[in-house]
Structure 1
């Protein structure tokens, strides 16, 4: 039996998210309804799926319309178009990542993973028997990564490098050493500090043209449609896609036609840019609100202000010592109804005092949740323990 450790962030969300009045732990852009989605279309207001369509298995590898839309989007900043057959549809990005690990990684392999990141990306290769080293971002240097450190982590049996951001230097190293680079791009293209039309807008890793790269994505985070459970894998390397497609037969036969139809509609020419613009504006407006909260509480917290995505990692401290984030987050949700996620429980024991805050929810939820948090901190912060004062779990 494969042994795998508790999935910290998902366990915390299971325990505390459902009862929260103000969910500021969620990582998706504020969810939308089908009516909302259709209202964003600049073209003919056609139905998303015909009510007369027969709901069989559908296209096994993914709907043709959805794959065509993804291929078009991935080809926007690429030197050459991404072939449609190099995209595989899955049940969410978590399934995409699982399939890649299951198909490509095993005992005797070495994996290097950008850290901190989603726990699946390093826990699952470990459970499959691979040796995993963490390539750690430095919070004191704006969470930057050191390419020289990556070089030191390389081994003769390094099979895969897992990153959450676009790094051309990583691709160059991977090509020299014949290593696969996997980029989990679930938050792409929510680079809200850059105009989407700007030449500085980061392309997808797969758009660099290298056959050593793989990306995964989903409709959940940047596209506000977590409820349809739709993700994908894309690569310039058709051999990788075919190997993963073989592994996919053991897990899912096909993805729901209903989910695929919604995703295809959302990523169509008529809708995509409006949906992304809606979420870009939401992220920019809400980040200003969270920034003001951090400024107002700068005596007890600090952060590296996000330039993309939907989450912030904020560090709380008292007398030079990190606050016990688990106590803070547990009491905050139980007594004020505000859900945050503690960094040390969710991402690694070294992140003491850190909390993850999702800020691209409905703006009023963020305003009200932070207002309740401010009142609660005013009354309770001084009594919160630091990590040195707290008993070991």
Structure 2
């Protein structure tokens, strides 16, 4: 299979180990194991009680009953455990869904720009992929009328990233209902990557699985829950689709492992404590960045709505990749150039880094920008 490189992953693979001030990541300040142990108020006793009684065998192939029960609590609908499949992160869930749903010649519509696999995998599988654009002039929101114009009677799949990486765009319930209505008219599936949960007005966030019968939603504990090291994600779909996905899983992963399942279950069971911590990080760090932007004449952004990813734009006479490499080599600051998301002229800012890292990184970024004054 000849598949394109994922721009952001290729960039991080090459450069992130060189960074002193990493303000490029999309996770909310990853938890240490010590912090994870403290989540239950018992120094992790509830986690180790389960773990100490488990044999380190394959465990539950598609996720333990305890894990599935915690995942089901994240949705408004009554989710059958058989409709939930544990995966290797959201990446694994998306790959599983796309490999099963997309065939050569299919018509696929993908939100764009966003995380490459949501449109590159369908294209590699032989689909005709058309882009549903997020537009700056519309505050990085898509147009429903544009989606209506793109959809055809033979449209097989619509791919969305809610919230968007790197733009932070959050689709409202009304927009999701309109997407569902359009998809329903032609019998299309909707794949919704929901790994970035907005931590502002969370009660108003809706999952596509609660709105559309032919939805597949994917998620993980990596971003919102700050534990990417667990490498645990999941898919939620209809029972019919889940049965098809099971076949693909058997070929590619078998299981995620006993330890990882126990860790992810514990994290989700204690999610309220994590979300309280992470809301505070988002609110504090967003204010820090906003104050910095207000005093930085070369930079602007659409402030993220409680999402851990953000895209900043700058006014400089230099290619964004060239500038980011220079910034890293001279100041030790890591950003992901916007061109890696087909958004040249800016960068993904991981503003949910530890506060000291963020402040120092922004200060050094300003220093680098002064060369253009």
Name the TM-score, length of structure 1 as normaliser.
0.88
Q: Does 1:355 align with 2:347?
A: yes
Distance 1:354 1:88, change over 3 A: same
Contact 1:108 1:130 in 2 (8 A): yes
The residue aligned with 1:386 is none
- Summarize deviations over 1:102-158 as a string: whole Å, max 9, x none: 111010111101111100110111111111011001111110111110011112321
| Structure 2 residue matching 1:246: 3-state secondary structure | helix
Query: Could you tell me how far apart the structure 2 residues matched to 1:65 and 1:204 are?
Result: 21
Query: Could you tell me how far apart the structure 2 residues matched to 1:333 and 1:45 are?
Result: 38
- Summarize deviations over 1:68-123 as a string: whole Å, max 9, x none: 1111222xxx2x41111110000111011001111110101111011111001101
Q: Does 1:376 align with 2:354?
A: no
The residue aligned with 2:232 is 230
- Summarize deviations over 1:294-321 as a string: whole Å, max 9, x none: 1111x21221111132121111114xxx
Q: Does 1:172 align with 2:173?
A: no
The residue aligned with 2:210 is 207
Q: Does 1:158 align with 2:167?
A: no
Contact 1:147 1:169 in 2 (8 A): yes
Query: Could you tell me how far apart the structure 2 residues matched to 1:287 and 1:15 are?
Result: 28
Contact 2:102 2:127 in 1 (8 A): yes
Q: Does 1:339 align with 2:334?
A: yes
Structure 2: tracts of 5 or more residues without a match: 163-170
Contact 1:60 1:255 in 2 (8 A): yes
Deviates more, 1:84-93 or 1:37-46: 37-46
Which structure shows the higher helix fraction? 2
| Structure 2 residue matching 1:161: 3-state secondary structure | strand
- Summarize deviations over 1:156-188 as a string: whole Å, max 9, x none: 321110112342110111112111011101112
The residue aligned with 1:104 is 101
Query: Could you tell me how far apart the structure 2 residues matched to 1:372 and 1:340 are?
Result: 12
Contact 1:303 1:314 in 2 (8 A): yes
Q: Does 1:364 align with 2:356?
A: yes
Q: CA RMSD in A?
A: 1.5
The residue aligned with 2:87 is 90
Contact 2:189 2:216 in 1 (8 A): yes
Contact 1:216 1:231 in 2 (8 A): yes
- Summarize deviations over 1:9-46 as a string: whole Å, max 9, x none: 11111111111000011110111122211212257952
The residue aligned with 1:390 is none
Deviates more, 1:41-50 or 1:113-122: 41-50
Contact 1:192 1:284 in 2 (8 A): no
Q: Does 1:185 align with 2:198?
A: no
From 309, 312, 328, the counterpart of 1:311: 309
Query: Could you tell me how far apart the structure 2 residues matched to 1:43 and 1:337 are?
Result: 39
From 326, 338, 342, the counterpart of 2:321: 326
Q: How does 1:249-288 map to 2 (within 5 A)?
A: 249-268=250-269, 271-288=270-287
Query: Could you tell me how far apart the structure 2 residues matched to 1:347 and 1:377 are?
Result: 22
Q: How does 1:52-91 map to 2 (within 5 A)?
A: 52-74=53-75, 78=76, 80-91=77-88
Contact 1:342 1:356 in 2 (8 A): yes
Structure 1: tracts of 5 or more residues without a match: 383-393
The residue aligned with 2:299 is 301
Query: Could you tell me how far apart the structure 1 residues matched to 2:253 and 2:132 are?
Result: 32
How many equivalent residue pairs?
359
The residue aligned with 2:127 is 130
Query: Could you tell me how far apart the structure 2 residues matched to 1:14 and 1:34 are?
Result: 24
Query: Could you tell me how far apart the structure 1 residues matched to 2:234 and 2:191 are?
Result: 13
Deviates more, 1:223-232 or 1:163-172: 163-172
Contact 1:325 1:354 in 2 (8 A): yes
| Structure 1 residue matching 2:312: 3-state secondary structure | strand
From 125, 142, 146, the counterpart of 1:145: 142
